[in-house]
Structure 1
Amino acid sequence: MRQLSRLARLPLQRHKASAWAENAKVLDWSRRFSAISAAQVKELREKTGASMGKCREALKEENGDLEKAVDWLKKRGVRSMEKRSAESAEALLSLGLDRAGTIVELRAETDFVTRSELFQQTLRHLAQMIAAAPDDAAAGIEAAMNMQIRDGPNRPPQLRTGATLSEALLELGSVLGEKLVLGNVHILSPPPGGIVAGYVHPKSVDSMQGTGRMAGLVSLRSPDGLGSSPDAFHTTASRLARHIVAAQPRFVSVDSIPAETLRKEREVFKAAHFEQIGPRMAGTITEEVLKKVLDGKTNKFYQEYVLACQELVSPQVSSEKKVVPVAEWLEAEAKQLGLSRILVEDFKLAVL
């Protein structure tokens, strides 16, 4: 009888042991999850554009290693376009194009404030003010915060002239009831014989002109100068800026990709390919075949992230139902304007 009693208790003991093991796994997972800081998640999100949840998951899987987390996201096809569907950004962008192109990011605590007329008026004035004196803000955010507010036709009366930008934002925050923070400031000066143009995608139909959540700047030049039609040259630059906002490239040309970046990308392609075909096939693949596979994936990477290799996103081209790479389109534009070449010097992109 005792023997039966002992045997009868065994399943219960096993169940307890199993439950304890599962609890231990949960505790271990919780420790790993909680070890990932909000700052790490924010940094990975800004680097990749993936959602907060995906960034946290990647960092958790890679024990907080940022570079490995980037590779983890790439292997699983998490693309930067996720940023568009992420939670509402707490900022707007504005563009000023006086002597230089400028994208200014201003943050508030709620989307309600960023939609207000006072907030958007302030943002437009700051962008125009910084565009008129780009050297003052080129040293970074701290230097920009020490700039003095200047008067202008679009300055809201609540933005006090003579105050530093830091003081003015503090005062304006008390009016709006939320803390205002100056985010990134992107400045792009026109090259010799060239021009800067930009595009801001509106946040909503009632947004003020020049404000939105996505903005791009591009600087173009030609060895022949602006030619006989500077307005047409500017139109070309504006269309390319619009493309940059839509396609979100990372590099101007293939040659501008850092060697280390390209090496890491090919390592990710290789690991993803081996994972796809399985260990048995991976052990039989030749170097020649592997090189062709990696070259093919690299070319797709160029088409997705290199401005010159991307398919032009443009209503005019789309209506013709023809795939036109940006480099080919610029050649056609140069010919139409009577120029030998149109060269892309640089671009800036901000997506919130």
Structure 2
Amino acid sequence: MAITASQVNELRKQTGAGMMDCKKALVEADGDMEKAIDFLRKKGQKVAAKRGDNEANEGLIFAESKGDVGYIIKLNCETDFVAKNADFQSFVKSILTVGIENGVDSVDELKKLKYNDKLTVEEKLVEQIGVIGEKLDLSDFAKVSATCVVAYNHPGNQLATLIGLNKEGEEVNDAGRQVAMQVAAMNPVALNKEGISQDVIDNELQVGKDQAIEEGKPADLADKIAQGRLNKFFKENTLLSQAFVRDNKLSVEQFLNSVESGLTVTDFKRFSLS
């Protein structure tokens, strides 16, 4: 049967596939829209199987917050060319929207959700692999809930952060954005020292002790020196103890207290492609 331009356009709207791919799918399906969509999805499965071992180190990260909740997503692709494509950016944001509308907080939950009336998010990803011709990997998704949540998207969308705060208000929002940028720049490993695992602490102490002995320090002082180096590790790697980037005379904790007494960060997320 003859395939009309309107049929091709309709399939393209539904799948994002190219004009020629849509026409071929409709020809194979004798004009049946559902079968054509299934044809494109199977094509995506074939491409996914072929490119399964490929590296997907490029991609996009988006964070979005409103009031007391925020979400952040990372979708990887193979090339920077695809990552910069407007259609791919819209696709990533559409998956983020699905996660927001359903309030999920993990990749596994998100993949199981309905993307539309016909496909789950996971199935839509496979379909898009066929459309784009590259491996796609929905590698991370997270949610932060707090009294106030602030999102920061670094230019280029290869890095984004979410900050949860225990208070709200205009000044709190502004302070939250500054701390969100701090997290982006300084990459803390935990909120405070209580968030550092005992294994990491034990390792840092052992490394510090070994270094002290190698430097010729007396063995009886090695433990004390190692503890001092551990405290430096906490100061440099835990968010509330870090020197505030905009005024390194203050820690982040002191900066927040200067904005409003008792103001603090309750949670944060940082996704990066590098």
Q: TM-score range by the shorter chain?
A: 0.7 to 0.9
* Residue among 61, 65, 83 paired with 1:97: 65
Unaligned 5+ segments in structure 2 are 1-54
Aligned-partner residue type, residue 323 of structure 1: K
Task: Pick the structure with more strand per residue.
Answer: 2
Which residue pairs with 1:21 in the alignment?
none
Which residue pairs with 2:131 in the alignment?
175
* Residue among 254, 257, 264 paired with 1:331: 257
Please state if 1:201 is matched with 2:167: no
* Residue among 75, 89, 111 paired with 2:80: 111
Q: CA deviation at 1:103?
A: 1.3
Unaligned 5+ segments in structure 1 are 1-86, 151-160, 204-211, 335-339
Q: CA deviation at 1:162?
A: 4.2
Which residue pairs with 1:142 in the alignment?
108
The 3 A distance-change label for structure 1 pair 118 and 245 is: same
* Residue among 202, 218, 229 paired with 1:263: 202
Q: Return the alpha-carbon distance in structure 1 between the equivalents of residues 152 and 134 of structure 2.
A: 28
What does residue range 15-26 of structure 1 map to in structure 2 within 5 Å?
none
Deviations along 1:40-71, one digit per CA (max 9) or x if unpaired, are: xxxxxxxxxxxxxxxxxxxxxxxxxxxxxxxx
Please state if 1:239 is matched with 2:178: yes
Q: Return the alpha-carbon distance in structure 2 between the equivalents of residues 262 and 131 of structure 1.
A: 36
Please state if 1:127 is matched with 2:96: yes
Residues 100 and 131 in structure 1, CA contact (< 8 A), matched pair in contact too: no
Q: CA deviation at 1:184?
A: 1.0
Instruction: Using structure 1 for the length normalisation, give the TM-score.
Output: 0.58
Q: Return the alpha-carbon distance in structure 2 between the equivalents of residues 178 and 291 of structure 1.
A: 52
Q: Across the two proteins, how many residue pairs are aligned to each other?
A: 218
RMSD: 2.1
Please state if 1:345 is matched with 2:271: no
Aligned-partner residue type, residue 132 of structure 2: L
Residues 191 and 239 in structure 2, CA contact (< 8 A), matched pair in contact too: yes
2:249 is paired with a residue whose SS is coil
Q: CA deviation at 1:131?
A: 2.2
Aligned identity (percent) is 26
Regions of 4+ moved over 6 Å: none
Aligned-partner residue type, residue 101 of structure 2: A
2:158 is paired with a residue whose SS is strand
Which residue pairs with 2:144 in the alignment?
188
Residues 198 and 242 in structure 1, CA contact (< 8 A), matched pair in contact too: no
Aligned-partner residue type, residue 214 of structure 1: L
Q: Return the alpha-carbon distance in structure 2 between the equivalents of residues 127 and 348 of structure 1.
A: 15
2:243 is paired with a residue whose SS is coil
Q: Return the alpha-carbon distance in structure 2 between the equivalents of residues 343 and 142 of structure 1.
A: 30
1:323 is paired with a residue whose SS is strand
Q: Return the alpha-carbon distance in structure 1 between the equivalents of residues 199 and 137 of structure 2.
A: 34
Bigger relative contact order, structure 1 or 2 (CA pairs below 8 A, ≥6 apart): 2
Q: Return the alpha-carbon distance in structure 2 between the equivalents of residues 143 and 311 of structure 1.
A: 37
Q: Return the alpha-carbon distance in structure 1 between the equivalents of residues 228 and 244 of structure 2.
A: 21
Residues 56 and 78 in structure 2, CA contact (< 8 A), matched pair in contact too: no
Q: Which has the larger radius of gyration?
A: 1
1:163 is paired with a residue whose SS is coil
Q: Return the alpha-carbon distance in structure 2 between the equivalents of residues 264 and 344 of structure 1.
A: 27
Q: CA deviation at 1:88?
A: 9.2
Instruction: Using structure 2 for the length normalisation, give the TM-score.
Output: 0.73
Aligned-partner residue type, residue 149 of structure 2: V
Q: CA deviation at 1:312?
A: 1.2
